[in-house]
């Protein structure tokens, strides 16, 4: 386990295990204190909350990264010393010599989450919630209380995703358009999968996800990917069933550009601001139409092999050896329901994304995000708004997800 470097001394009841452990990876981060202040300014629950910061860098980190991490460590230690919140414990994992091959956000999350799970086990709260946040986020005032209440009132949920929204205010027009287009893509993609009927249509955003400690350990913990670690990790948790969502609070991830990861929000915004227009293009809704037509027939797979209607899906399934996979599934199931469940375990979010890439590369060219969003909106059975731009569609999709959650 990583060495514990520092912790807040003012814990109201050290015998009580924390109601939440929040893990925050921090690499070359100039404004971690804003995130800590946001947590400290939340409505404070009666139960203690623990925050584990993983200030990290690779062995070959540049001098600039090393200096920034040193400054962050010093500023955080000073913040802890001045903190008056008796129910908020902050622990620092100072990891400055991580192996170059694995150093990155996945390994940093893993260090913090492994330590959190071990702490829960030793404290007798084996299924305590581990919350993932990033060092450039702020949270709503009710963030802590909402998380605690969610896991108390949903004792069987293995994990959850948490509502998020990138701040748009005070951004230059081009920057604002870019972040709106990127977040709209995330919401459009999720709604497309949901409309198609995929049971794993959830957001997989690293700064707004949570898992129970015992489930985390049973599923092998976090991976060490340098990017996309959240997507691959949550696939395993969602597949267990009972995955949930929190929409009565919100995480506000930074909309800034960043080159610290090979893909994701920061990288996409950096490319957009340097002239790459692809952030405004997304998958043609026809990819979701192809999936929907096939998924609607999945109940037949228990008795027979079925052919999808679309050429793009036929090609992909042939390449993925779908026929052989289904033969094995049928040989090891005794009901239509179980067969469908195993079918969607095979046709998981990763394979779904691979199909969408295949279809987009070979059959359906990408189209502007606002056009795709308008088409899907009609398929969702919603009234069509008029004169709506990228940001307008984003606000519509944000509100739609909140209303969906209320009605479920």
**Domain ranges in the chain?**
4-169+201-256
Q: What is the pLDDT of residue 2?
A: 39
Q: What is the pLDDT of residue 79?
A: 95
pLDDT, average across residues 301-329: 93
Q: What is the pLDDT of residue 384?
A: 77
User: Residue 83 in contact with residue 43, Cβ under 8 Å?
Assistant: no
Q: Residue 269 pLDDT more than 80?
A: no
Give the confidence band of 220 by pLDDT, cuts at 50, 70, 90: very high
Q: Residue 265 pLDDT more than 90?
A: no
In percent, the amount of the chain with pLDDT more than 70 equals 91
Please write the tens of the pLDDT for every residue from 230-253.
999 999 999 999 999 999 999 999
Mean pLDDT in the chain?
A: 90
Q: Residue 75 pLDDT more than 50?
A: yes
Give the confidence band of 5 by pLDDT, cuts at 50, 70, 90: very low
User: pTM of the predicted model, to two decimals?
Assistant: 0.91
User: Comparing 257-261, 371-375, 377-381, which segment has the lowest mean pLDDT?
Assistant: 257-261
User: Residue 302 in contact with residue 327, Cβ under 8 Å?
Assistant: no
Q: Residue 304 pLDDT more than 90?
A: no
Please write the tens of the pLDDT for every residue from 174-190.
899 899 999 999 999 99
Please write the tens of the pLDDT for every residue from 85-112.
778 999 999 999 999 999 999 999 999 9
Q: What is the pLDDT of residue 273?
A: 63
Class of the 4-169+201-256 domain? alpha beta
* Among 372, 206, 184, 173, residue whose Cα is nearest residue 289: 372
User: Residue 53 in contact with residue 90, Cβ under 8 Å?
Assistant: yes
Q: How many residues does the chain have?
A: 408
pLDDT, average across residues 129-139: 96
CA distance 123 to 320: 45
User: Residue 148 in contact with residue 46, Cβ under 8 Å?
Assistant: no
Give the confidence band of 396 by pLDDT, cuts at 50, 70, 90: very high
pLDDT, average across residues 1-20: 54
Q: What is the pLDDT of residue 10?
A: 37
């Amino acid at each position: 386990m990583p060495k514990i470097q520092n912790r807040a001394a003012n814990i109201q009841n050290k015998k009580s295990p924390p109601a939440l452990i929040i893990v925050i990876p921090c690499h070359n981060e100039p404004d971690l204190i804003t995130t800590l202040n946001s947590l400290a300014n939340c409505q404070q629950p009666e139960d203690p909350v623990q925050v584990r910061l993983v200030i990290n860098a690779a062995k070959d980190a540049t001098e600039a990264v090393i200096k920034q991490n040193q400054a962050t460590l010093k500023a955080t230690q000073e913040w802890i010393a001045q903190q008056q919140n008796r129910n908020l414990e902050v622990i620092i994992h100072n990891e400055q010599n991580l192996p170059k091959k694995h150093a990155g956000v996945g390994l940093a999350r893993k260090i913090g989450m492994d330590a959190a799970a071990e702490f829960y086990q030793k404290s007798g709260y084996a299924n305590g919630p581990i919350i993932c946040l990033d060092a450039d986020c702020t949270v709503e005032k009710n963030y802590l209380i909402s998380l605690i209440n969610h896991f108390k009132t949903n004792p069987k949920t293995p994990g959850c995703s948490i509502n998020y929204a990138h701040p748009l205010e005070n951004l230059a027009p081009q920057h604002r358009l870019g972040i709106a287009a990127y977040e709209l893509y995330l919401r459009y993609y999720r709604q497309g999968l949901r409309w198609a009927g995929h049971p794993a249509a959830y957001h997989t955003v690293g700064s707004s996800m949570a898992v129970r400690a015992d489930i985390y350990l049973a599923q092998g913990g976090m991976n060490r990917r340098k990017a996309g670690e959240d997507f691959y990790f949550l696939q395993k948790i969602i597949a267990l069933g009972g995955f949930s969502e929190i929409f009565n609070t919100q995480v506000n991830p930074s909309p800034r550009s960043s080159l610290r990861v090979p893909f994701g929000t920061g990288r996409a915004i950096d490319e957009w601001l340097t002239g790459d227009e692809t952030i405004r293009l997304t998958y043609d809704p026809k990819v979701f139409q192809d999936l929907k037509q096939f998924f609607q027939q999945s109940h037949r797979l228990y008795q027979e092999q079925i052919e999808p209607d679309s050429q793009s899906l036929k090609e992909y399934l042939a390449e993925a050896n779908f026929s052989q996979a289904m033969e094995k599934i049928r040989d090891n199931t005794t009901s239509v329901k179980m067969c469908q469940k195993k079918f969607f375990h095979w046709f998981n979010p990763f394979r779904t994304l691979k199909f969408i890439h295949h279809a987009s590369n070979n059959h359906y060219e990408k189209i502007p995000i606002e056009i795709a969003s308008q088409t899907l909106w009609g398929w969702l059975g919603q009234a069509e708004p008029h004169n709506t731009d990228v940001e307008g569609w984003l606000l519509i999709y944000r509100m739609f997800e909140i209303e969906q959650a209320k009605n479920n």
